[in-house]
Structure 1
Amino acid sequence: MLQLHLFEVYQQTWSKNHTASVSLPSTRICFLSTGDTIQMDLSNMRKKYKGDEESFEEDQLISLDPIKQFAEWFNQATKCPEIGEANAMCLSTASKDGRPSARMVLLKGYSNEGFCFFTNYESRKGKELETNPHACLVFHWEPLSKQVRIEGTVEKISRQKSVEYFHSRPKSSQIGAVVSRQSSVIPNRQYLREKNAELEEKYKDSEVPAPDYWGGYIVKPTLIEFWQGQTNRLHDRIVFTREGGETELQEMQHQAKGGWVYHRERSHWFCIPERAKKLLTVGHNNPAQNYNNEKTRDEIKENIQHLPIDIHSSKLLDWLVDRRHCSLKWQNVVMVIREKINAALQDMPENEEIKQLLMGSSELASLLSRSVSYEGPALRKQVAKAQQLQQELSRRELECQSGAADMRERYYAACKQYGIKGENVARELQGLVKDLPTVLDEIGRKASCLEETIKLYAAFTKFVCDWSEPVLPLLSFIQQKGNTTVYEWRTGNVPTVIERPVVMEAPPDTVTEETIDWGDLSNGDEDVNTGSAVEEEVDWGISLESGKEETGDCGIDWGETKTSAVEIEVVAAGTDCKYTFSFWIKLHISKRHNVLTKLISHTGFTGPEGVARGEDAFSLLENAQTRNQFIDELMELEVFLCQRLSEMSEEGDMVSMSQFQLAPSIIQGQTRKRVQTMLADVRHLLEELTSQRMKHLFMIQASPRYVERVSDMLRQKLKQADILVLKQASLAERRQEALEEQARLEPRIDLLTANIKELQKLIETEISKRYNKRPVNLMGVHV
């Protein structure tokens, strides 16, 4: 393309048989109110640029990094005394509908990331950048005959950096930024003066806050063009471009640094490549002398015929319009012409000559450009999206699979904690309760080893506190007779018949499908339950009985009656008292046996003698009240043994030895090791009776709702695992659909590629015919 334009210019200038009249465009300055137009001919305004010996070639680049090359030219501009503001640049933006605007702003910093400037976010440029974040910067250093053009995307810099730069400015500039609301209408300049004076007085002794509507932008470059003016308008222009990813180098492109590629580009008229310069010289040192020689001119024409016409696919339609091969408004009439052609061809046989005449370069170029620029990338994007969706769905499938396996593992771990297999949770939990009496009987038999410990505690309380009543009554009873029934403990007689309550067997587990109850959304007159009435009464376990006086004997005993207090008195060693200890406890134990007897008497006994039914049929460790008393007495015994071990570790002095001279032999005969053994036995019984498994068994026995709650909790884990399995199957279906979508799109890409190659071949052949069969290369034609 560039070489062809060069030949046309030379041909129009020096051909003997053709005289070209060059019409220069006139510059319209303004319009008067009367409708008169002032026209000024500026065609003779020329500046003498640098000679060819000062050309800007690739080997003169200081670096293949365009940012470093910009830094070099910028330093030259700052050192030039004829340039007042080297950082002044023209900022061009466009609105959402494509209307451009330009203004001069100042560059305030640049780096490998981009070029930074500050302005009002509410100005016209700020609003345009909000809707269309693309801009172009132009640095024109006229004394140096150099220019840099930068295109790229625009982003706001961080608020912190904007505030820091705002406060680095002079205070007058800070106030000016607050006063001047750019692109807004004001009545007159006096308004600005008054507003400025008002703010100067307001912030006279304080810091000016940075307004929210003022800050910085950074232009991240995608194209940087370095231009240098030369004689005869043969300007030098080197363009650096950078795409988002790795792209193949096109013809006459070269790899730079940092992901940039560069190439030379024609300037205002054209640029001469090195091979064209060699063809133009034809053995002479001065090319201008060759143009006046007819023989040399013919040789130039012949040689130029072998130069290819290189056209980029994105500029193909513009190239055809610029060469007047098609009209600029061809699309407005193409539909009408096409309809007429289709109507005429209905009754005409196919004719090759007519077919050749109807071939439209503009339509082919438009179709090629649309296929390369839009259809191909769109299909590629859809294929990439399908592939990405497959990867995402595969990842989520694995997550669902692992999540379902984890839920099942947690289910079986919880079942193991309860001691069940998990096949029928409710039935297995109730099955555990059937073995509970055997376990409790075994604990009762183990309590027989506490005989010596109970005697030691009884002797110690009698020796220290003069306590004459029995201690640890329930623990002593179980130690002697084992885990008997409550009836035997209450009456002292062994029951002849034991009628235990019947436990309803739980139904087998059923897994129901997860459904959502949306309620009754009908528009009928049916009554709607708003929660104000409850059909099923909730049993809170509280019975309201009439005829009971608050102060009656059958009321609730809150424990406010006068009882013997538990007094703990610490007496220093050597103090005069009946029994002197380094640390001793004076105990006044409440009459627990009498309280228990009173509680049992309230329950009443209406059954026949020798028959244990209801609560009386349970063993002492099955009944909640007696079991709690048994645990309390074990803990009481544990505390005594711990305190006794502590005292025995301090009985080395003479005072301690004299304290137990009158004590019973069972107290004096105990050693520290023997007390530790007793303590271990007591703690072993406590651990067996208060273990987590035993707590679950007691809860299962006491509350059928607890069985339901545990069953629901465990089944919920299985339901979650099943939901994840269903979700995994759904994701697999979606992944298969994405795979099928990819398989459907790939043949379309192959077909489009073949069509594009065919279009490329047709266009190159058509253009070559119009230019004496010169070779034509369409560049950038790929899907």
Structure 2
Amino acid sequence: MDESNIPIDINIGKLQDWLVSRRHVHKEWQKNIIAVREKINSAIQDMPAHEDIAALLTGSHINYFHCLKIIEILKETEADTKNLFGRYGSQRMKDWQDLVRSYEKDNLYLAEAAQIFVRNINYEIPGFKKQIAKEEQMQTDCEKKHSDYLKNEASSKSEFMALCKQLGIKGDKIKRELVERLQELPEIYDKIGESLKPLQPAIDLYSAFTKYILGDQASDLLPLLQYVVQHGNTTVYQWSYGEPPLSIEPDPIHIELEDDTQGSGDQIDFGDSAVIDFESADVSAEIDFGDGDAGGEIDWGNIETVTDVTAPDAAPASPAESGMAVRAAGGGARGRDALSVLDCAHTRSRFLDQLLELESFLKMRLCETHAANESQSFSLIEQLPSESAAALGAMLGAVQAAAAALLAPRVAQLHNVKHSPRYVDVLTGQLQQKLSACDKARRRAAREAERARAAADRAAGLRPLLARLLSRTQQLQADIEREISKKYKGRPVNIIGGVKFL
């Protein structure tokens, strides 16, 4: 085999050592390259305006091969300085020709080119690739976070809209809309009171059962429930005294509405200075129900004797039982007496308790009926008017429907808004918290979208730089292989681990 055709393979990691060991470059070549670099820095200060020269001087480290190209360009730009002997009078040309001679001394150019080539392969190109991969990963992460924040925003918005729909408001001015919805409560309670007629058979059955068990000891059962079934949702005054009031003067509810954006800072004033707890059964606190001073005694009108209707075990069904004197000419309903039975927190609670009592009885009788039918055993139900399981189920369904209507979330929330000074703030705060979560998720999503765009822009800006570096490194590899080949009579030279291996 012809020796001139045997390739010379040089590993990139041993390229510089190979050049030193083969005595192509001096071992301490780096000391001499300093002077050359200083000459280059001085020479580039005075360069003609030329596109190719600008391209060579931009974005790369000037090396020997760039100097050769610059000299070729200067042959065109400095052609008018050429004399009869073929020499150039231009100082620019002289400077660059001197640079090339300095590079060629002791093959200094080859050592520097090898160093630049190895640094590009081992550090510069991988660094660019790593940075681009980092930006792309950041873009992916930000896009994922952007999607998650949008989902969180949609979830919070959905919860907000569901709660607003439940309350029957739009959500633009939360507290104002909540207060406006209070006007619907009387109509809602009246409809509930009118829908209780189907409960009468269940009440009759419960009364018959109780009389059968207790005999003469049985007292009137479920007085408030029976009253509402028969008379509807009247005022507490009519329930207490057995006659409708001549006038109704409910306590004014003074609500100071500020900007809804202030959230829990809004306050509801239910009186001049009184603090009313409608959930408590004890009304011994000082309450102003009329024109008297705050802290005055309760004015019930011309009543000779009054029993404590708020005691936990008291359930007056009539004026005679309560010990109250009936007003012959009637009177005016003021304060709590002016509220309806289902609206007043105290009577509402008693109504629900009695409704629950009736429901429990019907469930017990229904279970007993099923057990009696299965075992054919004696049952107390045989001593009562016959009630089938279907009839008992219908009664139970009517009771449960009444309880569900009164305890519906929308009704309960509006009731609390009216009777609890702080509940409206709590409810408003919950709704505003949902809106705040939406706004926060929206802002975070926008921020992540901006970060994703910035990362994409940085990656896009790095890709052309990487492509140019790859191209110049590939050209530098070809130049080094060609120069080494010249020293071995044209034998092919291959640098293993170069650009094509990246």
The answer to whether TM tops 0.5 is: yes
The match for 1:704 among 421, 424, 428 is 421
Aligned partner of 1:482 in structure 2 is 232
The match for 2:136 among 383, 387, 391 is 387
Q: In structure 2, how many angstroms separate the alpha carbons of the residues matched to 1:654 and 1:758?
A: 105
**Counterpart of 1:358 in structure 2: which amino acid?**
S
- Superposition deviation, residue 382 in structure 1: 1.4
Deviations 1:128-180 (A, max 9, x none): xxxxxxxxxxxxxxxxxxxxxxxxxxxxxxxxxxxxxxxxxxxxxxxxxxxxx
Q: In structure 2, how many angstroms separate the alpha carbons of the residues matched to 1:470 and 1:409?
A: 49
Q: In structure 2, how many angstroms separate the alpha carbons of the residues matched to 1:611 and 1:436?
A: 22
The match for 2:14 among 312, 315, 339 is 315
- Superposition deviation, residue 476 in structure 1: 2.4
Deviations 1:258-278 (A, max 9, x none): xxxxxxxxxxxxxxxxxxxxx
- Contact 1:390/1:739 (8 A) holds in 2: yes
Aligned partner of 2:102 in structure 1 is 358
Aligned partner of 1:631 in structure 2 is 352
Q: In structure 2, how many angstroms separate the alpha carbons of the residues matched to 1:658 and 1:492?
A: 35
- Superposition deviation, residue 615 in structure 1: 0.6
Aligned partner of 1:733 in structure 2 is 450
1:80-159 → structure 2 map (5 Å cutoff)? none
Distance verdict in 2 for CA 1:648–1:554, change over 3 Å: closer
**Is structure 2 residue 155 aligned with structure 1 residue 432?**
no
**Is structure 2 residue 129 aligned with structure 1 residue 408?**
no
- Superposition deviation, residue 728 in structure 1: 1.9
The match for 2:462 among 745, 751, 755 is 745
**Is structure 2 residue 436 aligned with structure 1 residue 719?**
yes
SS in structure 1 at match of 2:93: coil
Distance verdict in 2 for CA 1:470–1:324, change over 3 Å: same
Larger Rg: 1
Aligned partner of 2:338 in structure 1 is 617
Aligned partner of 2:302 in structure 1 is none
Aligned partner of 2:243 in structure 1 is 493
1:341-356 → structure 2 map (5 Å cutoff)? 350-351=93-94, 354-356=98-100
- Superposition deviation, residue 309 in structure 1: 2.5
Q: In structure 2, how many angstroms separate the alpha carbons of the residues matched to 1:598 and 1:703?
A: 31
Distance verdict in 2 for CA 1:403–1:328, change over 3 Å: same
Deviations 1:301-330 (A, max 9, x none): xx3133333323332111111112222232
1:202-241 → structure 2 map (5 Å cutoff)? none
TM-score (norm 2): 0.70
1:521-670 → structure 2 map (5 Å cutoff)? 592-593=315-316, 610-646=331-367, 650=372, 660=383, 667-668=384-385
**Is structure 2 residue 491 aligned with structure 1 residue 774?**
yes
Q: Return 305-314 or 334-343, whichever deviates more.
A: 334-343
- Contact 2:136/2:455 (8 A) holds in 1: yes
Aligned partner of 1:329 in structure 2 is 28
Distance verdict in 2 for CA 1:681–1:403, change over 3 Å: closer
- Superposition deviation, residue 494 in structure 1: 1.2
Q: In structure 1, how many angstroms separate the alpha carbons of the residues matched to 2:480 and 2:380?
A: 121
Distance verdict in 2 for CA 1:512–1:618, change over 3 Å: closer
- Superposition deviation, residue 624 in structure 1: 1.4
- Contact 1:490/1:600 (8 A) holds in 2: no
- Superposition deviation, residue 368 in structure 1: 1.4
SS in structure 2 at match of 1:358: helix
Q: In structure 1, how many angstroms separate the alpha carbons of the residues matched to 2:378 and 2:139?
A: 86
Q: In structure 2, how many angstroms separate the alpha carbons of the residues matched to 1:644 and 1:343?
A: 110
Distance verdict in 2 for CA 1:463–1:329, change over 3 Å: same
- Superposition deviation, residue 372 in structure 1: 1.8
- Contact 2:240/2:317 (8 A) holds in 1: no
- Contact 2:369/2:381 (8 A) holds in 1: no
Deviations 1:267-290 (A, max 9, x none): xxxxxxxxxxxx3xxxxxxxxxxx
Distance verdict in 2 for CA 1:342–1:468, change over 3 Å: closer
Q: In structure 2, how many angstroms separate the alpha carbons of the residues matched to 1:332 and 1:355?
A: 16
Aligned partner of 2:119 in structure 1 is 370
**Counterpart of 1:410 in structure 2: which amino acid?**
E
Aligned partner of 1:174 in structure 2 is none
- Superposition deviation, residue 749 in structure 1: 1.9
- Superposition deviation, residue 455 in structure 1: 3.8
- Contact 1:768/1:775 (8 A) holds in 2: yes
Deviations 1:591-630 (A, max 9, x none): 74389999998xx99xx96211211110111111111222
- Superposition deviation, residue 655 in structure 1: 7.0
- Contact 1:501/1:614 (8 A) holds in 2: yes
Q: Return 611-620 or 592-601, whichever deviates more.
A: 592-601
- Superposition deviation, residue 557 in structure 1: 9.7
Higher helix proportion (structure 1 or 2): 2
Aligned partner of 2:300 in structure 1 is none
Q: In structure 1, how many angstroms separate the alpha carbons of the residues matched to 2:396 and 2:416?
A: 28
Q: In structure 1, how many angstroms separate the alpha carbons of the residues matched to 2:344 and 2:276?
A: 21
- The number of equivalent residue pairs is 413
TM-score (norm 1): 0.46
- Contact 1:368/1:760 (8 A) holds in 2: yes
Aligned partner of 2:266 in structure 1 is none
Q: In structure 1, how many angstroms separate the alpha carbons of the residues matched to 2:478 and 2:471?
A: 11
- Contact 1:493/1:610 (8 A) holds in 2: no
Distance verdict in 2 for CA 1:375–1:732, change over 3 Å: same
SS in structure 1 at match of 2:221: coil
Distance verdict in 2 for CA 1:694–1:600, change over 3 Å: farther
SS in structure 1 at match of 2:196: helix
Distance verdict in 2 for CA 1:634–1:658, change over 3 Å: closer
- Superposition deviation, residue 400 in structure 1: 1.9
- Contact 1:700/1:707 (8 A) holds in 2: yes
Higher strand proportion (structure 1 or 2): 1
- Contact 1:386/1:742 (8 A) holds in 2: yes
**Is structure 2 residue 304 aligned with structure 1 residue 304?**
no
- Superposition deviation, residue 558 in structure 1: 8.7
Q: In structure 2, how many angstroms separate the alpha carbons of the residues matched to 1:341 and 1:709?
A: 76
- Contact 1:312/1:778 (8 A) holds in 2: yes
1:264-279 → structure 2 map (5 Å cutoff)? 279=1
**Is structure 2 residue 206 aligned with structure 1 residue 457?**
yes
- Contact 1:699/1:706 (8 A) holds in 2: yes
- Contact 1:430/1:506 (8 A) holds in 2: no
SS in structure 2 at match of 1:435: helix
Q: In structure 2, how many angstroms separate the alpha carbons of the residues matched to 1:713 and 1:750?
A: 55
Structure 1 gap ranges (5+): 1-278, 280-302, 514-538, 547-552, 560-589, 661-666
SS in structure 1 at match of 2:217: coil
- Contact 1:424/1:508 (8 A) holds in 2: no
- Superposition deviation, residue 510 in structure 1: 4.2
Distance verdict in 2 for CA 1:690–1:319, change over 3 Å: same
Q: In structure 1, how many angstroms separate the alpha carbons of the residues matched to 2:379 and 2:3?
A: 126
Distance verdict in 2 for CA 1:365–1:306, change over 3 Å: same
- Superposition deviation, residue 775 in structure 1: 3.4
The match for 1:423 among 152, 161, 172 is 172
Structure 2 gap ranges (5+): 47-89, 264-274, 287-294, 296-305
SS in structure 2 at match of 1:327: coil
Deviations 1:714-735 (A, max 9, x none): 2222221222221222122222
SS in structure 1 at match of 2:234: coil
1:157-306 → structure 2 map (5 Å cutoff)? 279=1, 303-306=2-5
SS in structure 2 at match of 1:612: strand
**Counterpart of 1:437 in structure 2: which amino acid?**
P
- Superposition deviation, residue 739 in structure 1: 2.2
